[in-house]
Structure formats: structure tokens, C-alpha cells
Structure 1
Amino acid sequence: METEQENCFVFQNLQETAMSFDDVFSKIISFMRLDPRSTFRLMVGTDSQVHPDKTLFITGIVIQREGKGAWACIKKMSLKRKMHSLHERISYETALTEEVVSLFTNEKKIQLADIVLPFIYSGASFVMEGHLDIGAGKRNKTREYVQEMVARIQSAGFEPVIKPDAFVASSYANKYTK
């Protein structure tokens, strides 16, 4: 049964539009069941782009079967103003990622883990990552926000990943912000 929070989200990908979170979760379950002996990474990340009349945020969800493909979708959110403050934008991106991560309740996390559990001794695994569009490099303007945003994703129960490895935020979601 969908909660009110889950109903307010609309996801899409190249094949489908107007997917609810329950639809997305079902797709993830089906994808994992195709080959439960695999190494899976469930990744959620958000990127943004300031446009002349708005700031567009894209949150991506990717379930990757390492070396054997992936299934992905996005959620768009538009703010009707230019968000110029880097800290505000990074914080908002992290909040949107946290919002989607929160839809993966403990019950849903257990359902996903249970798919691979019978096969962990033969190499199957499952991790959940929150991809942040920030980097710790000396030349990266977002480096001063790394500790704050990483702590937020950790507290949500996902493993934080930053640039250059945060490809769901910095590459997948990014291509839909243009």
C-alpha cells in the first residue's frame, strides 16, 4: 500500500512515464530477481542546473547488476527561482536525495536484501549508495560541504559516495538537468 508521501512522487525513464514509487520498487525487485546471484548497487543521487527562470533538480535511481546492466529512472523537480548559493543548492540536492532514500523503508530494504541473501556465499551482494554531486579535491568548490552532506546520507542508512565516483548524480542525473 502506498503512503501519501510515495504518491507525491512521479518517476520516469525512456520507456515509461508517470511511475509511482511502488512501480519503481517493483521494477527494482524484478530486475534483481532476474539474476539474484549478482553484485547489486542501488544508487540514488541528485543534480541541479540553474536556468534563466528556474532551478531544475533531477534525482536518479539506478539499480546496477555489476557487469550485467542496470535499470534506472528519474524524478524531476523545478524551483521557480534561480538558486545561486552553492551551499543552498548542494543542500537542496542532498535533501531531495534523502527524500527518495526515505522511501526505501526498512521493510523495503529487507525485501531487497532477501533476494540476494541465499546467494551471499557464492558472491552475491547488495549495497545502497547515496551519490552526492560534491568532491573533496582542492580545486573543487564543494569540498567544504563534504562532511556535512556525507553525514546526512549516512544517517539516512545509505553509503555516501562523492565525486569522482558519484556517477548517478554527476553523470546520469546531470544529463537530464540541461
Structure 2
Amino acid sequence: MTANAINNEIAALLPRLRRFARSIVYNRDDADDLVQIAVERGLGRSAQWEPGTRLDSWMFRIMKNAWIDEVRSRIRRDALFAPEEAGEHVGDGFAEAQQQRMAIEKAVSMLSDEHRMVIALVLVDGLPYKEAAEVLEIPMGTLTSRLVRARAALQELLSDQARTVK
């Protein structure tokens, strides 16, 4: 595959890369920065991609590793700020759906990085278990057990939030 073709394929993956980044980061600016870092690394190392393998899995792996690098480099972490856009629709019918979305985002943000990545790849992006395991570089059994624990933790967090609201 030519370099131009790889560039076009990576460009076509941008919506999925942004969705994955937003699933693991939850800050729009940080997610955009993460996508930029992953795309730069992917384009710069496109010669390392092996034709015949999935380019999307390769790019997700680059993004996962970039996020791990970022987390390790941060002194302060786990600060969650609602984006400015979160208050745009206060008072209309959209507000309740927005509140639910924000509650889910908050609950997911409270999960460990491992659980957030599994949720993002399997439940948000819809990758098959085998491909998600390859992206995360873990055995399939580890992926399935992490997914079970992540779902249970997420369900508990959401039910705790529902109890505190009532």
C-alpha cells in the first residue's frame, strides 16, 4: 500500500479515533490532542504497519499507548470538568437526556484506565473481543474478565448515583 493510500485510510478512521479518545479521556480538548498524537505517530511510523493486518487496530493500539504515556506523565490526574457545552440546553427537553449522558460519563470516568479502555473498545466502538484483546495486547480471557468486572463496576456506580438522586 502506498504512503498516500495509508494516509487516506488513517484520515477515514478519524471519526472512530475521536470516539475512542473521547471514551477514554472525557475532556474534548484532551481527546483531540490524543487523536492528533496518535495520527502523527501513525503517519510517522506508517512503514511499520504490516499490510494484511487491520489498520484500525494498529491505530487504536497507538492511541492506547499514547494515552498510557500521557497518564504516566501527568502529575495531577483524575480531574473531571464538565465541558462548556454541557450547559447549553438547560431548561429544555434535552436536559434530562443530557443529565443521563453526563451521569454515564461520570461513572465511566470513575473506572480504572483498564476498564475504561475495554468499555470503549468493545461497548462504544463495537470491536470484536479478539480485536480488542489485540489492541490492548492482552489475552482474550483477560479481556473478557475485565469486561465483566468493568460492566459490574459501571452498573454499581450508576445505581449508586441513582440512589443519591432519589
Q: State the TM-score, normalizing by the size of structure 1.
A: 0.32
Which structure's residues are more often helix, by fraction? 2
Q: Highest Rg: 1 or 2?
A: 2
Which structure's residues are more often strand, by fraction? 1
Q: State the TM-score, normalizing by the size of structure 2.
A: 0.33
